[in-house]
Structure 1
């Protein structure tokens, strides 16, 4: 949408107009809208370029695609993830507290947690898509992903160097 004189929001381009028409809104119909400033289109693919950079340069990611790398890093680093408590399938009895305590450090290695009642806490990485995050969230995700890569996988580089290399790839 584009803000215009007269305090109106109108479709910014043909794609936006088509998306609106596909909703089959009727003239005068009241609809809910989430308004936020979209990301800079030029750098929309920055984080995916970071994933590609990892595939090309880090052995741990060599046989993965860029998207899978990003989801793995999000999970490992708890970067823009939601946490949900679930009951593991097949668990019918309460696990004794002593067993829970011994499982916690092992599960933590995999980015998992366990409640006192035996519920497994799992992380679900949020989407990094253009439609899902505003500019501030996206920049935060990019910086945290670069920091995590630098700390865990590529300690010879500073986070800003990883982001700079990916930024150069945006124009490729």
Structure 2
């Protein structure tokens, strides 16, 4: 039989003798209890205007650059694709809502856009809903190219769409 008074006394003695260890244990316990869980029947919302996609994981050699990158909202394309694959297999995630920035200054090259589009297509093929939203699709059509991988594409009613292509005259 366990004597609760004896256990409490030993814990109090440990806390007084090793306050740093006690504080670390308490902090670990609190972080475990406050972990956010993915709710059932949720949609994964991805705001591509709020993050800066990088071709590879950032690996700054300067520690000050590493601290600065924590403030920036940067994400590697590989991390984003892995996240989409996990969400694709997760039964709690029912779909993807993609918020697109205006095409101006988005700055993704064709290869990155193609990889992102392929990841969205794979997510869509799993039978989950994919919806894209953009304010406007102008200049270069890069944002619209990524949106085309979704089932539905919506645009701000007052937005503009610039369809550019190849012109050929004889």
Q: TM-score, normalised by structure 1?
A: 0.20
Query: Which has a greater percent of helix?
Result: 1
Higher percent of residues as strand: 2
TM-score computed with the length of structure 2 as normaliser: 0.21
